[in-house]
Structure 1
Amino acid sequence: MDKINVLIIVTTISLLISLLLAIFLLTVKTKHRVSNALFAAFLLVTAIDVFEPWFNILFDGPSNLGMFRSSFAFLQIPVFYLYVLSVCYSDFKLKPKHLLHLLPFLVGNLMLLPRFYGVDTASKISFIQNRQSMIELQFNHILIHIQIVIYIIAVFRLLRKTKRLYLENYAGKNISSYNWLFQFTVVLTIVYMAALLKNILKFSDYPHVSEWIKIGLLVSQLFIICWYLFKALNHPGLFRNIDSKLKLVSEMVSEKESGEESAADEKEYNEELLKLKKYMVEKKPFLNSSLTIQDISGDIEIPVRDLSLLINHQLGQHFYDFVNTYRIEAAMEILKDDTKSKVTILEILYEVGFNSKSSFNTAFKKHTGTTPTYYRKELQVSEL
């Protein structure tokens, strides 16, 4: 079986699965309709891009439709960026300003208007035959790769900021969702880098290598998309969005007036700190696995901004770690209790406010330097 037949088979499978998944995402009833629609759009735009082998079979020779189809590659990474935005922020809405993401797509097509879209078939054939010397194709080739680099950097910066905001304001289980989305973006970045290599080889003396890389990309994209959706659909609560109006503590600190804090400010901080610690010990809000800084703010009547500065800036801890400290202390007390020696580690982690064994083990080891199981064994040995 030659590489053309392999390419057609892989393309067909990829197109069918992408289209079925896109239809499912657009029709399934869920509160995450915008996110689903954007990911469906990403699947459809990708499908249009990989449709090339079939398009070349169905349509003979260069055409406006064929060139326009290839320009949809400009839309892939912007749509993915908007999808990540919608996943990260609960109040995300598509707005007219998001149309600016269409600019590279529009510019790329406008560049082709005079010498491709607006000429006859013979001129189109000549344009394609001399593509290596055509400034329009060179420009679009450079533009799309600059676009990919810029958007990938933007996605990583967005995820980094969102994770920090989550750590500073939430103490739930879903911090792992941002880690996982980060991993997915890394994998997607590798795919785009491989596509860059493919495009470079396409205009070199090794076009056949480019074709085999294309087959590899089609197969990898198929598995990556299926992997991502399998994960998301099997864990519908995986992504817990945050409010985009939240500010990082570093931004709040920079907004404060420069200079040393007054004695009155320091006294106020000390009073608020005592109030917070007393509340944490007496009311045990950390037992709530979905605890947020807003919940505590409402209970102890300290503004969210002040409470965030107190914990994240004055104490030097993320809210996530601050709450987990109390959870781990509570877990350690249970592990020390001889009357609860039959209680399993899994039962303990749920009892103290955790929702996953991995996050519990990570937090426990960070706090004690050892695992919960080993900690319990050490206590049992010391009592012998």
Structure 2
Amino acid sequence: MNEVTSLLKELFQVLFLISFAVGAILLLLLLKRRLFIVSNRICASFILVSLIPLWSGYFRDTENLNWLAPVQLELFYPWLFGPLIYLYCIALHSSARITLLRTCKHCCYPLLVLLIHQISSQFGDTQLAQLWQHLYLKLLYAQLFCYLLLSFRQIKVGQQLIESQFSGSQNLYWQWLKLLLNGFALIFIADLAMLCLLLMDVMQQHWVMSLFTLSESIYVFVLAAFAMRHPQLVFDRFDVSQKNRYQNSGLNQAMAEALARHLEDTVEGEKLYLDNELSLSALAQKLRVPEHHISQVLSVQLQQNFYEFINRKRIEHAKSLLSSNDTQYNNILAVAYGVGFNNKSSFNTAFKRFTQLTPSQFRQKNQFPEKKIL
């Protein structure tokens, strides 16, 4: 039994080390980007805090090196997860500015907790110290739960802002955000369950700490792997919080109308909408104009966001394919891929939004239209 326990500890340490290394690479990439926007700063801070339990978990069970485990930080860093993940969602989706004061307001609770803990430790084994020990975990889990709810609410509110700048790639952005939040929520639930087992004397404290660190290491590894596989989702300019975005654009009425015509002609003529990874920034580079000018023209001149503009053209192209007798597009999924969508679900949703029909219903009504006699 001891040999199995020892083997598991060694395996855990290897996993902790690998995840720490991968997470550290992601952290360095976030810090070295030229476009070091607010959301990337907060994401880097979140990754840094997530690396602390991996560092601690590796050295805690390493003979002669356990003094390197940051024991004091273990009381402090868990309080940072909730505020950082919430501030990250705000930085991505909200028009509200992330100021230093706002950041300090959300991150002052960990400092307050550390201060209270230091004061209570001076009282030894008194009733005050015991009361704080009972309250500590309850307050921590309550704080994490509240910030998780706020974060899920924030990304729900921010859906329209993402759609305003991304066409076919918005599903990947939702995958990133859902991975970030759902993964953290799973760790929260698992940690809460293990705590209950600990209180019922079903599980030892050492195994609770090891399993928590294991879940955290898997979380960090998956986040880093996803970010490195889709670097444009995390590292590029994914900051849709543009307050007063057209105030100083320098684009007058005549220039805006000319750009609107150029935008329509280029996207339609070159069929740029067929690119499933087309984004506002990619279109701006193609047209050699600033992103905010295109965004302004879409919003003011064309009265639609980027998502609507691109997907409307995709749906028009899809309607022609569904009405044709081309055997290449007998399958609805082939049509979806053929017009620039990444999956059938998003194609069906967009098609019904613009036509009030599903693709199958449209095909049944229009595949063999009667020719009008002129």
* TM-score, with length taken from structure 2: 0.66
Aligned amino acid, residue 152 of structure 2 = F
Q: Among residues 355, 358, 366, which one is paired with 1:369 in the alignment?
A: 358
CA distance in 2, matches of 1:344, 1:30: 45
Deviation at 1:31, TM superposition (A): 4.3
Equivalence for 2:314: 327
Equivalence for 1:103: 108
Deviation at 1:245, TM superposition (A): 3.1
Secondary structure at 1:208 match in 2: coil
CA distance in 1, matches of 2:296, 2:27: 43
Q: Among residues 342, 350, 362, which one is paired with 1:356 in the alignment?
A: 342
Question: Are the equivalent residues in 2 in contact too, given 1:19–1:44 (CA < 8 A)?
Answer: yes
Deviation at 1:109, TM superposition (A): 1.3
CA distance in 2, matches of 1:104, 1:162: 26
C-alpha change, 1:31 and 1:82, in structure 2 (3 Å) is: farther
CA distance in 2, matches of 1:165, 1:218: 35
Aligned amino acid, residue 232 of structure 1 = A
Equivalence for 1:38: 45
Equivalence for 1:152: 148
Equivalence for 2:78: 73
Post-superposition Cα deviations, 1:220-254, rounded to whole Å, max 9, x if no partner, equal 3332322222121111123562431359xxxxxxx
Question: Are the equivalent residues in 1 in contact too, given 2:23–2:47 (CA < 8 A)?
Answer: yes
Equivalence for 2:279: 290
Cα RMSD after superposing both structures: 4.9
Deviation at 1:205, TM superposition (A): 3.2
| 1:170 and 2:165 matched | yes
Equivalence for 1:17: 18
Question: Are the equivalent residues in 2 in contact too, given 1:331–1:349 (CA < 8 A)?
Answer: yes
Deviation at 1:189, TM superposition (A): 0.6
Deviation at 1:144, TM superposition (A): 0.9
Question: Are the equivalent residues in 2 in contact too, given 1:152–1:189 (CA < 8 A)?
Answer: yes
Greater relative CO, 1 or 2 (CA 8 Å, sep 6+): 2
CA distance in 2, matches of 1:114, 1:282: 66
Deviation at 1:83, TM superposition (A): 3.9
C-alpha change, 1:146 and 1:216, in structure 2 (3 Å) is: same
Post-superposition Cα deviations, 1:78-99, rounded to whole Å, max 9, x if no partner, equal 3333444455579987735312
C-alpha change, 1:95 and 1:43, in structure 2 (3 Å) is: same
Equivalence for 1:190: 186
| 1:241 and 2:228 matched | no
Post-superposition Cα deviations, 1:91-120, rounded to whole Å, max 9, x if no partner, equal 98773531233322111111122342x57x
CA distance in 2, matches of 1:26, 1:336: 50
Deviation at 1:148, TM superposition (A): 0.1
CA distance in 2, matches of 1:159, 1:326: 27
Identity in percent = 19
CA distance in 1, matches of 2:190, 2:104: 28
Equivalence for 2:250: none
C-alpha change, 1:47 and 1:246, in structure 2 (3 Å) is: same
CA distance in 2, matches of 1:30, 1:371: 46
CA distance in 2, matches of 1:51, 1:370: 54
Deviation at 1:336, TM superposition (A): 3.5
CA distance in 2, matches of 1:236, 1:332: 33
C-alpha change, 1:220 and 1:328, in structure 2 (3 Å) is: same
CA distance in 2, matches of 1:291, 1:59: 50
Question: Are the equivalent residues in 2 in contact too, given 1:331–1:348 (CA < 8 A)?
Answer: yes
CA distance in 2, matches of 1:281, 1:83: 33
C-alpha change, 1:115 and 1:349, in structure 2 (3 Å) is: closer
Aligned amino acid, residue 181 of structure 1 = W
| 1:141 and 2:148 matched | no
Secondary structure at 1:13 match in 2: helix
Question: Are the equivalent residues in 2 in contact too, given 1:38–1:83 (CA < 8 A)?
Answer: no
Post-superposition Cα deviations, 1:179-238, rounded to whole Å, max 9, x if no partner, equal 213432123212102212323443x33252665555444333332322222121111123
The answer to which of 11-20 and 156-165 deviates more is 11-20
Deviation at 1:18, TM superposition (A): 3.4
Secondary structure at 2:359 match in 1: coil
Post-superposition Cα deviations, 1:299-340, rounded to whole Å, max 9, x if no partner, equal 798683x669x55xxxxxx763564233212222144445x6
